[in-house]
A = this chain, B = another copy of it.
């Protein structure tokens, strides 16, 4: 009912993780809830369109425009210009997702995919905890 997923990232951007998530939680109950929790404050989670790649590109650009690097007021830049912006972007998105389980599978809409949103430029290994709750 609880497992851990390790995701390797190579720089900023949205990484589709619907497939590894589904592979990690087999034998789901008929009805319930799946919680995904990312154990980091410089990467986050998001449910977004899984079809047209331009949706992903616009999302990435939008968050870069909303929280650009190299601002004069930034103080938390010990680990680089992408340090503080990583926290800002993760604060605007999700540390955890909750997806209903229906008829033994995730009840995602047709166009919904699960993404890990990496905000750091360098390579990282990210831990996501999956918890299954029955109704």
Chain A contact residues, CB within 8 Å of chain B: 1-2, 31-33, 35, 37-41, 46-49, 52, 54-55, 57-59, 61-62, 65-67, 73-76, 78, 84, 87-88, 90-93, 95-100, 102, 107-112, 127, 129, 131-135
Chain A contact residues: helix, strand, loop or mixed = mixed
Also in contact, A109 and B57, with CB within 8 A (given A98-B96, A102-B2): no
Also in contact, A84 and B55, with CB within 8 A (given A37-B107, A47-B95, A133-B133): yes
**Which of A49, A91, A108 has the most C-beta atoms of chain B within 10 angstroms of its own C-beta?**
A91
6 interchain pairs, CB-CB under 8 A? A37-B98, A37-B99, A39-B109, A92-B92, A96-B97, A100-B129
